[in-house]
Amino acid sequence: GKMSASNHFAVTDLHTPDPSEHAGNENENEVPQAKVDSSAPFAAGESPTLNYVRSTLAGGVLCSKCVLGKNGTREGAIGNPTELSIIRAAYFAGVDTDQVKKDAPLINEVPFDSEYKFMATVHEAVQEIDGDVPEDQYVVHVKGAPDRMLAYCANQAKSGLVGDENKEALDRKFWIEQIAVLSSHGLRVLGLCRATVPKSEVKVDEDLGPAFVNGRGEPWLTFVGLCAIMDPPRPECVQAIKEAHGAGVRVCMITGDHKDTATAIGHMLGIVDEDFSEALTGAELDEMSDDQLRAAVMSHSVFARASPQNKIRIVNALQAEGQVAGMTGDGVNDAPALKAADMGVAMGKEGTDVAREAAEMILADDNFATIVVAIKEGRVVWDNLRKVLLVNTPINNAQGLTVLFGLIFGLEKTALTAIQILYSNLICAVTLGMVTAVEPAEEGIMSMPPRVVGKRLIGRFLFLRIMIGTITLSTCVIGSVYILRNSDKEADFENEVYTLRKQRAMAFNALDFGAISVCLSARFSYLSSFHPRIFKGNIACWYSIAIVSVLQIFTTYTPIVNQYIFSQDGMDGFMWGLTGGVMAIVFTVMEIEKAVRCYLKSSGSDTDDHELGVFDPHQNPAPKGTHLTPSGASQLNLVELSK
């Protein structure tokens, strides 16, 4: 069968014991069609009657708990996507799904569980579907993992009916070959089986455990056919995984599907490649010691036929390797793994209440691409927090150093007043810091290696950047006042043109306008701000600069405000020239530091920053501290994020 263009589950193939009676989707239509002719998208063998097809699909309808939408649509439909695809296939193959359920009322059931991987329902017999069944017997419909189903089957049906005259020897080799072919195309394959049981064995008010099917000691079911379902990856999911790999994110898939199906889907999604081995099965994991499993999880990214216990062991093994593990899940059985993971993510749409309670986060749209977006946003938040520190800390430090060094160099009378310092903190620093916090993602942020777990928010080089900003801004502020004070050596300090109030105005404006330069440079962690990009992206930054500038002019020239509140005087052209020089020097020095840091990083030096360079997600083994974070994509369960 071919992949559907839709993102919905869709039946693509139905294989029966009779090679002349099978069906397959030959185009991109979501479901098989009932009409059979040379142009039909859903074609059966050389003599298509669709009787067997309809009978087999009708059994799939009974062995489900789905409710189809109006006219066979998904709108308003209720239930599991896999079951829904079978019911839709039956509907469009001509099966009256509602009538079938009325004619064969449900007596009891064995609900599906990922541990035993099948579901069974017990019904009253229907002549058109089941053939001649004695009145004292019920019909059991079972669907599940085909390899498990074959183990429970004693024979196979000839024509889709369960009567003794329609049974023949089970051709196990034929079915195994068909399973391998279908699975290799990335199709989810289900085995459909039937049997009859005496009515005395089944009580309506008693729960049927899995032993009702697999605890009889010998095979007893009749194999009816294989149903292949395409669970097409969302287009955005494939792109998201590619983006995740570029960001140092390793995506792992844990699924209950057949090994070949899981491997094929892994190739489709870009999870399995030449660097990571083929899928491991849950049975293979069970045979491994903890040490062997630790090695296996670092070289395998796809795990098939996995049980809930396997998920917990995988998470523990990754954590033992120094990884930070995240897990997605939607079922009750996923809750322990969600708890064990460092970050448990439950599905918002398909997830159970138990899974959501066990998780730290809920994925509202069940879409893996959303997690990659969240990773990107997390990086933006982390980077912007560092940028806020890079803006606010030099401003605050420069205030103190201006006062301190003013005292040291005999400029104590020109020190910033308490009101000026308070204003710079509450207006200038807060305004510029706030807009830096909402800076959009930098170009290439998803091609950067994740940060190492446990590293401080302020590392060596961020501390160095803060100190460079602090020293440069402080030096420029003090220097501008010193130049102003000595510009007319004959002038009397207290009474001539450059009075104490003007020097305070000089220090105040040099500090706050210099802070604007710090803000402009800090907007980009490693890209140069000497670029037109500085005028794009964060328009709020320019609004804040305008606000700060207008308020500075207001406090400088408004008579009552500048003299009686800020204890300063107006500025002349020479003083504004010094202020412009402060801005230029601060901006240039911080840009030079950025260029040197980028050069050191490109030459292989450890700059203590995570911003530069591309992490190879396929290195084996992954570095210590790798994050494992979850996905919401179809059939994806784990994402490993080296951080």
Under DSSP, is residue 117 helix (H, G, I), strand (E, B) or coil? Answer: coil
Closest CA to 511 of 565, 460, 555, 464: 555
Please report the pLDDT score of residue 412 as a whole number. Answer: 59
Give tens-digit pLDDT for 373-400.
998 999 999 999 999 999 999 999 999 8
Q: How far apart are CA 139 and CA 134, in angstroms?
A: 10
Q: How far apart are CA 506 and CA 576, in angstroms?
A: 8
Show the low-confidence residues of the chain (pLDDT under 70): 1-8, 18-50, 72, 74, 76, 159-165, 274-277, 410-414, 488-498, 604-643
Q: How far apart are CA 520 and CA 113, in angstroms?
A: 57
Q: How far apart are CA 53 and CA 72, in angstroms?
A: 18
Please report the pLDDT score of residue 515 as a whole number. Answer: 95
Q: Is 96 exposed, middle or buried (0-12, 13-18, 19+ CB in 10 A)?
A: middle
With b for 16 or more beta-carbon neighbours within 10 A and e for fewer, the 519-528 pattern comes to: bbbbbbbbbe
At residue 632, what is the residue type?
Answer: G
How far is C-alpha 605 from the chain's CA centre?
Answer: 31
For tokens 């009978």, what's the residue?
Answer: 55
Please report the pLDDT score of residue 56 as a whole number. Answer: 86
User: β-strands 153-157, 221-230: how paired?
Assistant: parallel
Q: Six-digit token pair at 286?
A: 């069970």
Please report the pLDDT score of residue 563 as a whole number. Answer: 85
Q: How far apart are CA 327 and CA 77, in angstroms?
A: 28
Q: How far apart are CA 507 and CA 523, in angstroms?
A: 24
Give tens-digit pLDDT for 291-304.
999 999 998 999 99
Q: Six-digit token pair at 548?
A: 């700060």
Q: Six-digit token pair at 68?
A: 């189809």
Do 389 and 461 touch, CB atoms closer than 8 A?
Answer: no
Q: How far apart are CA 276 and CA 618, in angstroms?
A: 7
Please report the pLDDT score of residue 33 as a whole number. Answer: 33
Which strand (E) or helix (H) includes residue 463?
Answer: helix 460-485
Under DSSP, is residue 19 helix (H, G, I), strand (E, B) or coil? Answer: coil
Give tens-digit pLDDT for 579-593.
999 999 999 999 999
Q: How far apart are CA 110 and CA 120, in angstroms?
A: 5
Closest CA to 296 of 627, 621, 625, 636: 621
At residue 257, what is the residue type?
Answer: D
Query: Domains of the chain, with CATH numbers?
Result: 10-230 (3.40.1110.10), 235-371+624-642 (3.40.50.1000), 383-602 (1.20.1110.10)
Number of CB atoms found within 10 A of residue 419's CB: 14
Residue length of the chain? 643
Closest CA to 233 of 244, 241, 225: 241
Which strand (E) or helix (H) includes residue 11?
Answer: strand 10-15
At residue 318, what is the residue type?
Answer: L
Closest CA to 226 of 282, 181, 195, 285: 181
Q: How far apart are CA 269 and CA 281, in angstroms?
A: 19
Please report the pLDDT score of residue 417 as a whole number. Answer: 86
Please report the pLDDT score of residue 614 as a whole number. Answer: 33
